[in-house]
């Protein structure tokens, strides 16, 4: 009690100091009766009552206070009015205004003089003024005259077409409602129409208010205001470099301390030459070009239609690229940190890509043809012709490509090279294996044209002659890829041809267990007892030569056991097969088979249970569920390339990954995306290489591992057959006609279907695809499930492996049209190359 009293008294002293109106009598009463906290409240209340009485008496103070309040209110009202006026007249007008265009055209019949290279020379100023005046009068007399503000000439250059190439900015001031009237095509059409009216005699040069302009050279692109301000004349961060002498390398090094966020380097060289830029190393934070990026343009202004190449991740092995003419613009966007670019550039004389090649009759490689400026990336425009001459009519030319394939052109354009071979048109495509293109003609002419919108990979092909009546040596089989493989490799269960053409029309290999001939390699150590004696599953950990049907241990040794990875047994001598196996083992209390749920959902699926598929991810684009994905680690997900490959879908800032989720909207963790790694050979026409890695901005917290867990990646040799339990999961549509997506995660059991059966359904199924479904079609993936997992359990009670990624199919749930999945085992090396420390 004593202590309480002391404490209360101390409290009273403090309060007395703060509140000068508290009387000693008040304090003494409170100390005797109530506790310290209550005391304070009472005293404050009493104090306020007394102050209020005093205030009532003192009128002059009251007046002063009122005055202060009045002044405050008046000042506040003035500030509000001024702010509103500022917003209406400055900010609002600003946000309504600037629409920026970057453009270029060639002024013919004007001689280029070196002074034009310097924007501060009187010659440049006088020429720029003339062109500026012409463009201004064109737009001042056009339908958008009231919106046109000004033209700024930024550069004058010359190429080998003669005349002067003009690079310019155009600025329009546009109220919001009128934005469509200054669209890119409309602004460009005004310029082209003006020239077009004066075209004569099939010449491409017409007159723009007396200025001779080449109509084919006119290009106008919408641009960013920030690009305008940072490349405009006088900007602190624009450097101009000139390569006057061909083949002399000029160093180019850029550091992040070099000048800020956006810096430009304009490269020019002598007319008739092109510029080769070599990136020796580049250290940046990978972010899909959102934060750090180097964009290389085939022009002197940052024009969208002239992008040659973009570097969005660090470069350690040198890459080089070549411009189409004698100008190139490097646009660096570097955020803070230690960012370093090292490289060089040089002028090169344009290559005359035209050759006549006489082949000898004998076997073996006779020489190599390469893409222009090999090994540099392809220019945006190029043309090569090779004329082969064979010593005899019985011989043809065989072109062996490293990672490139020619296919007969269909109705669509060629995206990666246009080929005309003896008057037949083919399109080129990049793949990850070699092919042989055979031309059964004595003197074939091969024409190649670049057809990609930006710089493509280079290619080379070795050429040799071959006997048209017998393309392959004795005892060999001719694959559809043009390769020759030994006949005994046909139907051996291995894809020797690279397109499985050696495994087509094969009956299932017989299980001859007791005979003299060895058992088919597919049956040996595959985890299933195929011979009653069990001899196919003994000595499986013995070392063997490495092949597609053996498991490779960490130390490089190979063992017969195909499915050694993470099966709970130490099979490799170095025990590497059981390393990194914290995956594919859900902690859900009820397992799939125990599921009591019967409600029929997604093409024959049922509701999944909490924690049953902890690797399942829902990928949301612009707030909407768009695709699925699977957790590979705390930072990486695996999904389908087609989810992110279109320009609109490629921006990681538009996506969110929802992890540890059963019902839409109740994710345990929602993650931002750092970047996508879309497979470099993804083919949007046939969905080949439909795989993409997704890197999260931040690792998900380990405290959530009860709900979020990686799925195991299979070994490249791992086999999954009809015997395995496989489930497809996702929040995709429940039928082709469905309009509403389910809320609860759906799961459907499907069976792996053999490749030959799948080809009977679809025809074009690449070795990188895998089919799964049920004969009736009743269980299947559908739209919205794409990118999500096809999870297969190694054995009853074993771990779950990511066998497929939902990719495509003919409709959903149709009989005899199973779902098609990306075959993950084919991409294990690719995944590991991109994910360090997985």
452 Ramachandran zone, left/alpha/beta (phi>0; psi -120 to 50) = beta
- Rounded Cα distance, 16 and 31, in Å: 13
- Residue 206 engages ligand 4AZ in binding (rule: CB under 6 A): no
- Residue 781 engages ligand 4AZ in binding (rule: CB under 6 A): yes
- Residue 643 engages ligand 4AZ in binding (rule: CB under 6 A): no
CB-nearer residue toward ligand 4AZ: 678 or 806: 806
Would you tell me the crossing angle of helices 122-140 and 184-196 to the nearest 10 degrees? 100
- Residue 238 engages ligand 4AZ in binding (rule: CB under 6 A): no
Map residues 29-58 to x or -, x wherever contact with ligand 4AZ holds by CB under 6 A. ------------------------------
Asked whether the bond before 434 is cis by omega within 30 degrees of 0, the reply is: no
Shortest Å, Cβ 728 to ligand 4AZ = 9
Single out the residue of 124, 785, 790, 803 in contact with ligand 4AZ (rule: CB under 6 A).
Answer: 785
8 Å CB contact between 459 and 452: no
**Phi/psi at 583 (5° precision):** -160, 160
Shortest Å, Cβ 406 to ligand 4AZ = 29
8 Å CB contact between 416 and 371: no
8 Å CB contact between 347 and 273: yes
Q: With H, G, I as helix, E, B as strand and everything else as coil, classify residue 181.
A: helix
Q: Which of residues 800-829 bind ligand 4AZ (CB under 6 A)?
A: 806, 808-809, 812, 819
CB-nearer residue toward ligand 4AZ: 397 or 805: 805
Q: With H, G, I as helix, E, B as strand and everything else as coil, classify residue 690.
A: coil
Would you tell me the crossing angle of helices 24-33 and 36-57 to the nearest 10 degrees? 150
Residue spans of beta strands (DSSP E) within 4-157: 98-107, 148-157
Identify which range of 37-45, 62-70, 698-706, 775-783 contacts ligand 4AZ by CB under 6 A: 775-783
Residue 391 has, within 13 A of its CA and on its CB side, a CA count of 9
- Rounded Cα distance, 700 and 827, in Å: 24
CB-nearer residue toward ligand 4AZ: 730 or 798: 730
Q: How many of the chain's residues bind ligand 4AZ (CB under 6 A)?
A: 11
- Residue 726 engages ligand 4AZ in binding (rule: CB under 6 A): no
- Residue 782 engages ligand 4AZ in binding (rule: CB under 6 A): yes
- Residue 783 engages ligand 4AZ in binding (rule: CB under 6 A): yes
Shortest Å, Cβ 800 to ligand 4AZ = 20
- Rounded Cα distance, 88 and 41, in Å: 50
- Residue 786 engages ligand 4AZ in binding (rule: CB under 6 A): yes
CB-nearer residue toward ligand 4AZ: 769 or 831: 769
Residue-wise over 305-324: b if at least 16 C-beta within 10 A, else e?
A: ebbbbebbbebeeebbbbbb
Residue 828 has, within 13 A of its CA and on its CB side, a CA count of 16
Query: What's the distance, CA 555 to chain centroid?
Result: 33
Single out the residue of 562, 780, 793, 798 in contact with ligand 4AZ (rule: CB under 6 A).
Answer: 780
- Residue 302 engages ligand 4AZ in binding (rule: CB under 6 A): no
Shortest Å, Cβ 411 to ligand 4AZ = 22
- Residue 573 engages ligand 4AZ in binding (rule: CB under 6 A): no
Asked whether the bond before 375 is cis by omega within 30 degrees of 0, the reply is: yes
CB-nearer residue toward ligand 4AZ: 540 or 602: 602
Catalytic residues: 642, 690, 786
Strand partners, 246: 347
State both tokens at 447: 């024409």
- Residue 223 engages ligand 4AZ in binding (rule: CB under 6 A): no
8 Å CB contact between 309 and 386: no
Shortest Å, Cβ 630 to ligand 4AZ = 15
8 Å CB contact between 792 and 724: yes
Shortest Å, Cβ 805 to ligand 4AZ = 10
CB-nearer residue toward ligand 4AZ: 174 or 782: 782
Shortest Å, Cβ 787 to ligand 4AZ = 8
- Residue 621 engages ligand 4AZ in binding (rule: CB under 6 A): no
- Residue 762 engages ligand 4AZ in binding (rule: CB under 6 A): no
- Residue 625 engages ligand 4AZ in binding (rule: CB under 6 A): no
- Residue 166 engages ligand 4AZ in binding (rule: CB under 6 A): no
- Rounded Cα distance, 612 and 591, in Å: 7
Place of tokens 């409600």: 599
Shortest Å, Cβ 624 to ligand 4AZ = 14
- Residue 798 engages ligand 4AZ in binding (rule: CB under 6 A): no
Largest CA distance in the chain: 127
| Burial class (CB within 10 angstroms; exposed 0-12, middle 13-18, buried 19+) of 137 | middle
Taking CB atoms, the residue at the shortest distance from ligand 4AZ is 809
Shortest Å, Cβ 602 to ligand 4AZ = 10
Q: Which residues lie near ligand 4AZ (CB under 6 A)?
A: 780-783, 785-786, 806, 808-809, 812, 819
């Amino acid at each position: 009690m004593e202590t309480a009293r002391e404490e209360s008294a101390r409290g009273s002293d403090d309060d007395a100091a703060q509140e000068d109106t508290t009387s000693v009598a008040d304090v003494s009463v409170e100390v005797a009766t109530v506790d310290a906290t209550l005391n304070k409240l009472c005293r404050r209340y009493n104090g306020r009552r007394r102050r209020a009485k005093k205030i009532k008496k003192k009128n002059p103070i009251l007046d002063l206070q009122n005055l202060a309040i009045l002044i405050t209110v008046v000042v506040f009202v003035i500030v509000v009015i001024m702010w509103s006026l500022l917003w209406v007249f400055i900010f609002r007008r600003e946000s309504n205004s600037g629409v920026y265009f970057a453009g270029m055209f060639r002024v013919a019949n004007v001689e280029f003089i070196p002074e034009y290279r310097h924007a501060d020379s009187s010659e440049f100023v006088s020429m720029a003024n003339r062109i500026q005046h012409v463009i201004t009068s064109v737009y001042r007399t056009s339908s958008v005259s009231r919106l046109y503000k000004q033209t700024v000439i930024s550069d004058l250059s010359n190429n080998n077409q003669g005349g002067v190439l003009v690079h310019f900015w155009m600025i329009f001031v546009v109220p919001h409602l009128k934005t469509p009237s200054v669209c890119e095509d409309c602004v460009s059409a005004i310029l082209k129409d003006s020239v077009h009216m004066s075209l004569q005699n099939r010449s491409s040069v017409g007159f723009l208010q007396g200025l001779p302009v080449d109509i084919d050279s006119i290009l106008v692109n919408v641009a960013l205001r920030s690009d305008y301000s940072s490349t405009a004349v006088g900007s602190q961060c624009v450097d101009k470099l000139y390569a006057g002498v061909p083949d002399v390398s000029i160093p180019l090094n850029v550091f992040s301390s070099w000048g800020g966020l956006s810096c430009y380097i304009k490269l020019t060289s002598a007319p008739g030459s092109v510029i080769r830029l070599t990136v020796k190393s580049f250290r940046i934070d990978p972010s899909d070009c959102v934060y750090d990026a180097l964009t290389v343009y085939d022009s002197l202004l940052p024009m969208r239609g002239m992008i040659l190449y973009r570097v969005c991740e660090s470069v350690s092995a040198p890459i080089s690229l070549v411009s189409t003419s004698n100008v190139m613009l490097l646009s660096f966007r570097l955020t803070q940190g230690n960012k370093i670019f090292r490289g060089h550039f040089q002028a090169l004389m344009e290559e005359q890509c035209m050759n006549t090649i006489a082949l000898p009759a004998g076997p073996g490689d006779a020489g190599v043809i390469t893409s222009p400026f090999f090994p540099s990336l392809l220019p945006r425009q190029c043309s090569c012709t090779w004329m082969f001459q064979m010593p005899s009519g019985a011989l043809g030319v065989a072109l062996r490509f490293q990672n490139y394939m020619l296919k007969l052109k269909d109705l669509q354009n060629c995206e990666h090279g246009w080929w005309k071979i003896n008057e037949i048109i083919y399109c080129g495509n990049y793949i990850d294996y070699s092919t042989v293109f055979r031309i059964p003609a004595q003197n074939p002419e091969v024409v190649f044209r670049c057809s990609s919108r930006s710089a493509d990979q280079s290619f080379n092909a070795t050429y040799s002659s071959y006997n048209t009546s017998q393309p392959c040596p004795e005892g060999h089989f001719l694959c559809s890829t043009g390769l020759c493989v030994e006949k005994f490799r046909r139907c051996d269960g291995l894809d020797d041809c690279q397109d499985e053409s050696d495994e087509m029309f094969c009956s299932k290999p017989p299980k001859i267990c007791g005979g003299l001939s060895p058992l088919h390699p597919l049956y040996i150590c595959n985890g299933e007892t195929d011979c009653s004696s069990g001899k196919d599953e003994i000595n499986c950990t013995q070392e063997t030569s490495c092949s597609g049907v053996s498991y490779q241990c960490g130390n490089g040794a190979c063992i017969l056991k195909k499915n050694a990875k993470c099966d709970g047994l130490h099979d490799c001598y170095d025990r590497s097969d059981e390393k990194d196996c914290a995956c594919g083992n859900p902690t859900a209390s009820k397992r799939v088979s125990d599921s009591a749920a019967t409600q029929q959902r997604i093409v024959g699926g049922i509701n999944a249970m909490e924690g049953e598929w902890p690797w399942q991810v829902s990928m949301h684009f612009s707030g909407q569920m768009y695709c699925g994905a699977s957790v590979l680690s705390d930072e990486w997900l695996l999904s389908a390339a087609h989810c992110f490959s279109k320009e609109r879908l490629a921006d990681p800032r538009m996506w969110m990954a929802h992890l540890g989720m059963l019902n839409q909207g109740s994710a345990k963790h929602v993650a931002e995306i750092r970047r996508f790694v879309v497979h470099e050979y993804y083919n949007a026409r046939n969905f080949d290489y439909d795989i993409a890695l997704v890197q999260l901005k931040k690792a998900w917290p380990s405290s959530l591992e009860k709900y979020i867990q990686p799925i195991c990646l299979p070994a490249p040799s791992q086999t999954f057959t009809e015997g395995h339990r496989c489930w497809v999961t996702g929040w995709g549509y429940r039928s082709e006609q469905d309009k509403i997506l389910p809320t609860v995660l759906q799961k459907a059991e499907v069976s792996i279907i053999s490749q030959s059966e799948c080809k009977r359904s679809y025809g074009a199924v690449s070795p990188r695809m895998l089919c799964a479904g049920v004969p009736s079609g009743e269980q299947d993936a559908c739209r919205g499930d794409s990118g999500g997992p096809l999870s297969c359990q190694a054995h009853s009670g074993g771990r779950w492996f990511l066998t497929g990624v939902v990719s495509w199919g003919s409709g959903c749930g149709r009989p005899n049209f199973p779902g098609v999945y990306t075959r993950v085992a084919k991409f294990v090396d690719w995944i590991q190359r991109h994910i360090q420390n997985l």
